[in-house]
Amino acid sequence: MAGYLLISGAKERKNGYELGEGKYYDCAKLLKLDLQSGAVNTVLQKADGGPHYPQEHPNLQYSSCCLVDDVLWLPTDTEVYKLSYPDLKVLAVISHPFFHNIHSVNVFDDKVYVTSTGLDTVATFNTEGELIELFNTEGKPLWHRFSQDQDYRLLHSTRPHDCHPNFVFSWQGKIWVTRCKQQDAVRLDDLNEKIEITDPEKRISVHDGVVFNDKVYFTTVDGYLVVADPQTKEREQEIYLLSHIKESQLGWARGLSITDEGIAYVAFSRIRRTRVVDRLAWLAKGDLDKMKFIPACVLAYDLTSHRVLRKYDLPIDVIDAIYGVEYTSS
């Protein structure tokens, strides 16, 4: 398989669990995976904070990025970097007091959409970084439980979240956002337009939202690809990726990129300890200790032949959490 995969994520802080929410990661990582050779290189990392982060124990991670032509839009918890690609020169840095726990950035029709997950909002900018509009993803007033006077970049956590929006996608010119808490995707300008991603019997964290061949693909953290028809708003298929490999368990599934040829690249983070134990309820009982030693990885799944073409294990000392993957030919 030719081409490369940009993998955005983070390395876990050694005492991150003890420190608590919003302090888990001490080094943001952007990797480049050669899909033919399997070689992995760190092309960018961030190991220090700055004025847009808490002074102590800043949460340093690169979340889900977006590559448009020769520009890479790369978010951290509190900033969005506009970088030239492939030389990764910084063209601009966007940051606002309402940025907190950013999960993704996407660009559609020269508008930049940023999920400020910690404030349950989606922010829209032009490509020069000027703010256009803010949306509350529950349809409530923007500041119904937050303050316009607070700089949320300097806080470690705003949990619990009401919606936990994590990914924006476009369908027929309309913008949709995936909401982890509600297990759905809603149209940003009409929240009554909704796709239920998981069955009511299976309430599990959902991510992504990649449109391919008039369908939209989501990941669930327990290793499924959920395929929905955005026209009918119906789920059409659930693909359990682990049934196609010898391993009975991998880590937290999040991060999806689909090539024009229909190869879906799905990322799996290493499992870390968490105080919110229901997030790991899908794991087989007693397997958690063993899973700490399973490296982060990426599966290449052929949507046509319905088989896993390859599994790419990532160096265990390089990256733990993966937020996004982005295919590129160069």
From 167, 159, 162, 202, select the one nearest 182 (Cα to Cα).
162
How many other CB atoms are there within 10 angstroms of residue 193's CB atom?
A: 15
Exposed, middle or buried by CB within 10 Å (0-12, 13-18, 19+), for 151?
Answer: middle
pLDDT for 279 equals: 52
User: Tens digits of per-residue pLDDT, 2-45?
Assistant: 999 999 999 999 998 899 999 999 999 999 999 999 999 999 99
pLDDT for 202 equals: 72
What residue ranges of the chain have pLDDT lower than 50? 276-277, 282, 285-286
User: Tens digits of per-residue pLDDT, 106-137?
Assistant: 999 999 999 999 999 999 999 999 999 999 99
Domain ranges of the chain: 4-328
pLDDT for 201 equals: 74
Coil, helix or strand for 12?
Answer: strand
CA separation for the pair 120, 178 (Å, rounded):
11
Enter the tokens of residue 37. Answer: 């050779």
CA separation for the pair 171, 271 (Å, rounded):
33
pLDDT for 272 equals: 63
pLDDT for 204 equals: 83
pLDDT for 286 equals: 46
Cα-atom radius of gyration of the chain, to the nearest Å? 18
- How does the average pLDDT of the chain come out, rounded? 93
Half-sphere exposure of residue 312: CA atoms within 13 angstroms, side-chain side: 24
pLDDT for 271 equals: 85
User: Which one is the CATH code of 4-328: 3.40.640.10, 1.10.10.10, 1.10.290.10, 2.130.10.10?
Assistant: 2.130.10.10
pTM to 2 decimal places: 0.94
